[in-house]
Structure 1
Amino acid sequence: MSETNQRYDVVVIGGGAAGLSGALALARARRSVLVIDAGSPRNAPASHAHNYLGREGIPPLELLAIGRAEAAEYGADIVRGEVVSAEKLAGGFRVARADGGVVEARRLLVTTGIVDELPPVEGVAERWGNEVLHCPYCHGWEVRDRPVGVLALSPMAVHQALLWRQWTDDVVLFRHEQADFGDEEYEQLAARGISVVDGTVEGLEVADDRLFGVRLAGGTVIPREAVVVQPRFTARSAVLESLGLVPTEMVMGEHVVGSYIAADPAGATDVPGVWVAGNVANLMEQVVGAAAAGLKAASMINMDLVTEDTRRAVDARRAPFSAEAERQVTERVLGDRRHGLQETR
């Protein structure tokens, strides 16, 4: 069906793993579904997605293409566009796009994800998703047994270094501009054979389209083939904020690492009729987890709609009987009045 002047059961905002998984489940439940996707998936720079059972190593964009085809096969409409705001209506929502398009929905599933805000170190943004990494479960195997550097950009730096040590015994922690570590932390690093390098990191050394070292202030270059950084994970929450939802800060080790939209375990937010799934609700979610969250939210949305449909059906069923009962009461009252008049005569 066309999205023009259409009121859908569900509009899904965001066409990543969570959004497409939710759209697929809802379309299979015979719901009218529209997916509006801005076309900027977070994992686009990565060459492969991992830990997705049955799809291990698939390129992220290929996974999304398959997901779009599967959802469309069951009748979901999928369009490219940016949603700028949503408005609560009686019985649903109005969704506005940047191109001026407007569509209405009974329920919303928002899966807009997060933005990785990278540190301002030369070369980090350019090599992000290639040799500049943050998740060992996503990329650790690919850099196993290779020299890895961890930039101490947050209080989680020692934790990161110890974690990445699982994949390689050649880990260097660059203290950068962080305060000195505690004695216990130094002991842990030494016990695991992790070197600590003092000095500010000036940038990454790149040649022939590949990373080969970390450059310190003063020009010293420490050879590394992969570098780990800690981005700030910021929820893409503009649409949700237009509905009155406020992002919540996520704190790890007394350090704010990002923001997310709070929801119950099934993705229901504090705004009735609005669900969230994927990274916008869980900063640590990987692709397979995001897909699972989309499915869970979709099942709850469908049940919510079933409840509403049932209530409406019951009201409609009762309406004729109510009208007939009212007619009978009216006739009885009128009959009593006529009978009373006859007696007084």
Structure 2
Amino acid sequence: MKFVYRLAFASLILFTACKKEKSWDVDVKEQNVKLAIHDISQDFFNDSIPLVTLRKNYPFFFDTNSDEIWEAQRRDKKEINIYTKSRKIFGNFDQLNNSLVPVFQRYQYYFPEYKIPTVYTYSSGLQNLNYPVMFSQQSGLLFIAMDAYLGTKEKLYDSIGVDRYLRANMELDRLPSQTVDAIANDIVTFSPRNQLFIDHILYEGKKLILQDALLADTPDEYKLGYSPEQIQWCIDNEGQIWNFFVEQNYVFSSDVSLKKRFLDLAPFSKFNNEIEQNSPGRIGAWVGLQIIRQYLRENPKVELKTLLEDMDAQKIFKDSKYKPALEGKSGTVYTTKTINGKDYHFVK
């Protein structure tokens, strides 16, 4: 009996040890990806190129404004200054190409039936700062607003009152994460009939798990637009956050205000208590990511595409067995690396 007991105990230890983080370490050397990058604004601000030629070359870029309005914009000194600053950051696009090719190698690995997009950069005149990357798998196009990556301390952002909590993403090294976010917005399946809070947080979690899959050696801070302090706050308070959702009967609620309070871009999440201003915005998205990671630990054979297309949030939640302790470590195992004097969190 002692032998049977010990064997069972050893098996339990082995079973528990096997529930580790899903590995996204895949060999993409055979994925031959060459990106075509076109700078629309370089042509737009070149007044030697006729507007009729621009309309022909970039029909998707022009709306119904008159030619007079477009010609005035092409000569607007403020617009030209914004573009000049943007192009200085992006240079000859070598850094952009080098940061996006690995993303699309992994994209091609996991979704071989999808085509690699053509990349178009442009200056938005500081109009598209919140969502600077747009992607359409169907049309095969990826658009990047270069003026959204001028740096957190850029005075142009001061001049139009860009909130500090939004500026974490306004560095060029955050662009790959925002590119994957744009891809996720296009390819991760969501049904408008699924309007429970758990539906929304797991939808956000699935979009974020795509970043785990497509981004190698990228900290969670970049994936969520957080600072190291905000990620650490989430880790330290995961159990308390989830307990709050459970006690308030939010998990299976259809209350539409919950999305605004816990999933929309904001300086902090709206707990309506004394802790909320210590929290980052979109805390529900971070919780959704932890549930999806736990689900994959429990169900390691589930393929990425299958997960992204699975709209049964309640089944995913049940099969994740997600129940973080009120006190203790997050289910996700992190290691830290120092970047510019701060410790960033990387999933092991």
Specify if TM > 0.5: no
Larger relative helix fraction = 2
TM bucket (normalised to shorter chain) is under 0.3
Larger relative contact order (C-alpha < 8 A, sep ≥ 6)? 1
Which has the higher Rg, Structure 1 or Structure 2?
1
Larger relative strand fraction = 1
TM-score of the superposition, structure 2-length normalised?
0.22
